Every structure is written in C-alpha cells, then in structure tokens.
Chain A
C-alpha cells in the first residue's frame, strides 16, 4: 500500500462507495441496487426492520458474501472480489452482533491474535506488541482480567473488548452490528462512550442499531433499508420525522 495519509478535510474521495449492490440467493432478492457513499470520519446509522438486509449488507462489505451485481470500493480501490482477510488488512473492521470473541482464549490472547494478524510493517508502526496489548485491555477497562478466558466476560465487557481490539489493530472503517445488543443497560453508556471515542479519532463507522435515540445522538447520517432497498438517506432528525420510516415500521397510515 502507499504511505499517503488521508484525512477528512483533504480527501475528496469517499472512504467507502457502494455501487448498485444486489444479492440474490435462491431466487430471493436479499439486496436490491444498494448505492451510497461514506465519507471519511462519518458515522452512519443503518436502520430498518428485521429482515431488511442490514446484516447481509455488512456480510457483503466484509466479504463473507459475494454480491450478485454491483461493486464496492474502499478508498478508491475495488474490493468487490477480495477475500475477507484481505479487506481486514486494508483497514475494514467488523464487530459482530453475537460477539466476535474467541471465548476459549484469554483476553490477552484475544488481542494478541488480532495484532499478529496485521501485515508486518503495519504492526511495527503500531509500536511494542506487549504495550499495545496492555493499552487495548486498558481501553476496554479489562486489564485486571487479562489472563481470564474471554467466555467468562459479560456481554458488555465482550463488546468493549471487541471494539477496543478492532480500534487498536489499526482499522479505519468500523462495521458495528448492534453494539448494544446483549449489553446490560448500565454498560450501554460505556459502549456508547467507546463509539464516541472512535468518532473523536476520526474513524469511519457504519452502525446497525434498533435504538433510535442512540442512533440520533451519535450518527451524522442515517440509511434506512427496507426489503433490501435503500428507502431514505438523511440526517437523523429528518429521518425520525419522515413518513417513510413510520410506514416501514408501523405500516401505511390510511387516514393521511
């Protein structure tokens, strides 16, 4: 890769471009002509009812599913046919709905394996491995649990570990799939804080979430998906007031 530093102010190129993504599995059209751009440093909320294709879209972006049509570009590079690990090495990170944690490994190993998977030059640039592992666990406020198996953590703790690990391993674009699902209300704030931190660090975030107030607080724009199609892309406040959203969630209102 080149050593050019991109930043939100200078780069006119979107960090992520989806062009006409369609996915058909066994005659079911799961995604239909999904197109939008994401600017560097933007936080985008992805909402829509169950089965609208949100997680499927994430799977297409991470490379677990190949779109039937359309292309994906990351920083101008076409990544449509790249395998998941290559995309990860380019800087696309994923946080899973059901926790992407290695439960039978210790917390320390969970972080170590992520850092070891980086390309060599990138790992060197991040500095001392042991220090970085310590810093990652510290960020997740889990340093005292380093030698514990990750499976013994609470949902909220797993989520913090997963996000901190993704951040500290140098990812630039974050795909967060329902980061507050399975997290106790008390811990939700901590998870929200760590996402705010991503924003402060200029990272780009796509976030699937059902909690609309939560989306409203942190997102710059919201993409509404329904039946695999993009229905609306706008600022959170405008989306909240739109009729389209109400129709999707509650059905069309015959009186208006």
Chain B
C-alpha cells in the first residue's frame, strides 16, 4: 500500500511535467530537453520568493509559476522559434545547450545544498495502511485539479478546440484563420507553467537539488514516448505507470531473496521506453499521430 501511495505521489509529479511536454510535442513536434531545468527554476523561484523574500505561500507559488512560464517563453523565443521551422530536431541541440547554461546558473544562484519550500518535519497520517503527509494529499489533489482543469480547457473551450485543430491538421487550421504560431508560443509557455508546478511539488514534498533536472527530463520523455507521441492522456497515464513501476521495482523483496538497490530506480524509466518501443512502437494509445 505504501508503494502505491508513493507511486501516486511520484506519478502526480511526473504527470504534471509530462502533460506539458506531450502538448508541446503534439503541437510543435519539438523536443525541449531543458524541461527538467525549467522544473527546477520553478521550484527554486518559489523557494526564493517564500524563504528569502518572505512572501506567503499563496503568493510565492503563483510567482514561481509565472517565473516558470517566463523562462519557458524566453526558451521558445531564443532557442526554439528561430530553429524549429528549418528542422524540427534542431531544438534538440539548442535546448541541450540551454539545459547546460541553466544547470550552471541554478548552481550559481541557489548552490548545491538542498532547498525546501516548506522546511521542517511533516506530520504524517496513516491512510489505508500507508503513511502520507497532509501536504502530499494536497499535492495529489492539486495535480488532479490542474489536470482536470486542463482537460476542460482542452475539450470544451474555443482555445482548446483551436489547439486540437492545430495538432490534427495544422495547415487546415491555419487556412481557417487560426493563428498557429501564436498558439505555439502559448503552448510552450503553458508547458513551462506545468513544469514549474512540478518543481514546486518537489520543493514542498522533498528537497530541491541542482542535479535533479536531467532524470526529470528523461522520465517525462519516457512517459510521452510510451503514451504515444503527442498523446496527452497517454502521457499522463504512462507517467503514473512509470512512477508506480519505479516504486515497485526497488520496493519489493524480490523472490524473498534480494532487493534492487534504489540507485537503479532511474533506469526503470529507460527500460520502460525500450520494452515499449519493442512491443508497440506507437505507444499504448498510439493510434493518433501527428499529421505531417
């Protein structure tokens, strides 16, 4: 049961990040490898606003989200927009460069020591035989609210219809008067806000450290690849699935004989992609693909 709860917590975090990423890939067909760094920027910014500038949490969190969106916007303008029309893999290179720059900046600005947005011991309670803190419950609920809020936006509003139209046939959408380039910017910024939300999640639940960025990126990509590239809900389901799998792999007493060391947790996501691509190259829900 504890594994399930842990998986749910880690999954909520991964789902937030993967959701934004799936959207970017689905609409722009572009990979942003600096995503993990944007997650950290969102988390650290919130930490700074709350712990250094002394803002209360309800102001610090929106400020952190805005920072994430802003960094994503700059990323788009400087590192993606000038390149992705020439070849959609060029941003792969430019965002790797950006990720290194951001890694350096994060280390410089926030140093190596772990930072927590809510320092101190958290009170835990027993729930269905597992331990969980009230903050974790809030975070899980918060994630669900964000995801369902987004689902509503996506499926029932004019903006959502436009986004779906651009995903399914961008030329037809533009020929109807939909301004696809400005939607691209919007979606990139939105993915930054989702990422920052993920960073805030880490900062509240655990500690922020500068080395977290790359594993986060890898896990998010594992989720969107296994979910069927660009498939929003597939990515979210797979994010939860991978997180749960990670908990199970290192948490179970295998055959009553041995434990897999926790250090191998990260490789689970990668194995997951490999197995998936071998069995079903289009992903779990991979019937929907980008139109070329």
Contacts and interface: CB of A to CB of B under 8 A. Distances in A.
8 contacts: A62-B174, A62-B175, A64-B174, A94-B171, A96-B169, A96-B175, A100-B171, A116-B161
A102 B177 contact: no
A100 B164 contact: no
A199 interface: no
Contact of B174 (A84, A102, A104): A84
Given A84-B180, A93-B176, A113-B161, 5 more contacts: A62-B174, A84-B175, A88-B176, A96-B171, A114-B176
Contacts of B176: 88, 93, 113-114, 117, 165-166, 169
Contact of A85 (B158, B168, B177, B288): B177
Contact of B172 (A83, A89, A102, A109): A102
Which of B162, B175, B178, B181 has its CB near the most chain A CB atoms (within 10 A)?
A: B175
Interface string B100-138: 000000000000000000000000000000000000000
B175 A102 contact: no
B179 interface: yes
Interface of A: 62-64, 83-85, 88-89, 92-94, 96, 100-105, 109, 112-114, 116-119, 165-166, 169
Contact of B158 (A63, A93, A116): A116
Interface of B: 158, 161-162, 164-165, 168-169, 171-181, 288
If over half of B's interface residues share one DSSP class (helix, strand or loop), that class is named, otherwise mixed; here it is helix
Contacts of B288: 104
Contacts of A83: 174, 179, 181
B169 A102 contact: yes
B178 A117 contact: yes
Contacts of B178: 85, 88, 113, 117
Nearest to B180: A85
Which of B165, B177, B181 has its CB near the most chain A CB atoms (within 10 A)?
A: B177
A100 B177 contact: no
Contact of B171 (A64, A103, A104, A166): A64
A202 to B, nearest CB: 21
B175 A105 contact: no
Contact of A88 (B158, B161, B174): B174
Given A64-B171, A88-B174, A102 B165 contact: yes
Contacts of A114: 176-177
Nearest to A96: B172
B77 to A, nearest CB: 17
